[in-house]
Amino acid sequence: MSDAPGLIVDETGTQRLVGYVLDVGQPDRKARCRLVVDERHTNRHGVLHGGIAAMLLDSACGATASLTLDDSGRRPFLTISLNIDFVGAGRQGGVTATGRVAGGGRSLLFVAAELVHDDGTLIATASGVFKRVPDGKRAEEG
């Protein structure tokens, strides 16, 4: 599937498997990771699985870090640490994780994110440290 301006769709195996879309085209330079939650994304209690919530937050944080370098949202950053607080149940429907740079320098960035249901319910928050992959290197070499 081709990307609409600012949207990254089906770029990775994880995106294709889970079905989320990454929006890196907003003027505030905060990446948004969007998923419409259905029964495939829930745990045995019928709410959004914590691992999927963590993945959405991680993706929003990494893409937000990438937007500090250029407008593509595709420059690689590695997750060094990621802390998540689950504060509400993620029900079926639309959810969006939005990242925000909290600090850092040239090679390490501190990025925070919130995962919110379309009805405004806060589901989870995250804070993490992300390392820039030097130009010309692959992420596993970073």
* pLDDT per residue as tens digits for the range 61-79: 999 999 999 888 888 899 9
Q: Which of 74, 65, 77 is nearest to 113 (CA)?
A: 65
DSSP 31-45: -EEEEEE-GGGB-TT
* Helix, strand or coil, per DSSP, at residue 106: coil
Q: Is the dihedral of CA 39, 45, 47, 48 positive or negative?
A: negative
Domains in the chain: boundaries = 7-141
Q: Which CATH number fits domain 7-141: 3.20.20.140, 3.10.129.10, 3.40.50.2020, 3.30.160.60?
A: 3.10.129.10
Instruction: Report the predicted TM-score, pTM, of the whole model to 2 decimal places.
Output: 0.92
Residue 94 has pLDDT above 70, yes or no: yes
Total Cβ atoms within 10 A of residue 87: 12
Q: Residues 109-132: what's their mean pLDDT?
A: 98
Number of residues that make up the chain? 142
Rounded CA-CA distance 116/124 in Å is 7
Q: Residues 89-112: what's their mean pLDDT?
A: 96
Which residue type, as a one-letter code, is found at position 54? A
For residue 75, the model assigns a pLDDT of 87
Residue 141 confidence class, pLDDT cut points 50, 70, 90: low
